[in-house]
Structure 1
Amino acid sequence: MDATYGTRRMVVELRELGFDVGRYKVSRLMKKLKLVAKRPKQHRYPRYGQSSLLAPNSLNRQFNPERANRYWSGDITYIRTSQGWLYLAIVMDLYSRRVISWAFSDKPNSELTTRALRLAVNKRQPNQTVVFHSAHGGQYTSTAFQQCMEEHNIESSMSRKGNCLDNAVTERFFRSLKSERVNYRRYKTRQAAKADIIDYIEPFYNQKRRHATLGNISPAEYELNYLKTA
């Protein structure tokens, strides 16, 4: 769990292991043992690029679609290393909260976001139109990125200016990544940061981390249940 679970998730985990406990008992025990879940630090990141081709907010905070590959979302975050900034772009399926692709670069440009999107398409092979939601930074409004979406029959949706809640699920993932892993590391190289972030995303976040929105199961398990009933 990498010291990331608070009392709610800890109760679920212990009950899965056969312990009949409640939240208040878990809270008392965690305090007694001095166990504290990791919490995010406040940090501001600069914008990169200028908006050019803006799309309407067609997602409109519909963060719980009824099927996979209906709404994807994405964004970029910044990771500090001793070699300089490392930039991470992700694509998430909002149905399961699964991070389906990611890409790294030492430059926060449209090549980075385009690479992440192409990886998502290659992994998922959607057979219907997907709506991809993002902020309206230059990495997503660029001609290259817009052409990539058109090539793969993906519709663009963008947050309203200055309204981070329009892309709240993606922002929440970055918050978890920083507060549960990155803020407690000192990366000497960009390669070390890449390896650690991938270790957080795939073995832990996608496969094991319980999400309250998904009924306290992991994104991978949630998708497996979807496939069983589809």
Structure 2
Amino acid sequence: MKSLSQDFEKQQLKVGRDTLFNVLREHKMLTLRKKHSARTTNSYHRFYKYNNIIKDLKVNRPNQVWVSDITYIRTVKGFCYLALITDMHSRKIVGYDLCDSLELKGCVRALKKAIYQAKDIRGLIHHSDRGIQYLKYPHLLGQLCC
């Protein structure tokens, strides 16, 4: 595979990634890889779904709302899953855990790390996408916060 950076420099061209991809796409020179993804959210389950209490909430301070989510990372051996707890006000990641499964234990460890490092979490709302990890055992997550 040839790098075009030297050719661009010789012609005194500055081309960013997005522009390059747009040009390649226009000339039908872009081949896209087939995406393989892991499904991390199951919204169709039999467990109780809590109402979204942060829908119209004005977030104006740190540790008011923490948002949880899980993403996947592709590795040579398959997928691993990164559970993240993000402070909605500062957008800072306050807790995380990397796990080889989508089970609750990764989410709990991420939440424990966030609570351990937090200064004041009185009145904190822990919000998630209502995936099965958070709904199957809500009492376990609730015990960590209270």
Both structures adopt the same fold (TM-score exceeding 0.5): yes
Counterpart in the other structure of 1:80: 74
**Quick one: which of 24, 33, 39 aligns to 1:46?**
39
SS of the counterpart of 1:60? coil
Offset, 1:149: 2.2
Offset, 1:93: 0.3
Compute the TM-score of the two structures, normalised by the length of structure 1: 0.46
CA offsets, 1:49-98, max 9 Å, x none? Answer: 64524211001054x61111001101101111111111000000011111
SS of the counterpart of 2:102? coil
Counterpart in the other structure of 1:147: 140
Identity score, percent = 24
Counterpart in the other structure of 2:55: 60
> Which consecutive unaligned segments of at least 5 residues does structure 1 have?
1-30, 154-230
Counterpart in the other structure of 1:121: 115
Counterpart in the other structure of 1:33: 14
Offset, 1:148: 2.6
> Is contact 2:59–2:89 with CA below 8 Å preserved after alignment?
yes
Counterpart in the other structure of 1:10: none
> Is contact 1:51–1:138 with CA below 8 Å preserved after alignment?
no
> Is contact 1:48–1:108 with CA below 8 Å preserved after alignment?
no
Compute the TM-score of the two structures, normalised by the length of structure 2: 0.70
Q: Give the CA RMSD over aligned residues.
A: 2.8
Offset, 1:134: 0.7
Counterpart in the other structure of 2:29: none
> Is contact 2:40–2:102 with CA below 8 Å preserved after alignment?
no
> Is contact 1:68–1:96 with CA below 8 Å preserved after alignment?
yes
Cα 1:48/1:70, change in 2 over 3 Å: closer
In the TM superposition, 1:1-230 aligns within 5 A as 32-36=13-17, 44-47=37-40, 50=45, 52-60=47-55, 62=57, 65-143=59-137, 145-153=138-146
Whose radius of gyration is greater, 1 or 2? Answer: 2
> Is contact 1:65–1:94 with CA below 8 Å preserved after alignment?
yes
> Is contact 1:71–1:130 with CA below 8 Å preserved after alignment?
yes
> Which consecutive unaligned segments of at least 5 residues does structure 2 have?
1-11, 22-32
Q: Give the total of aligned pairs.
A: 120
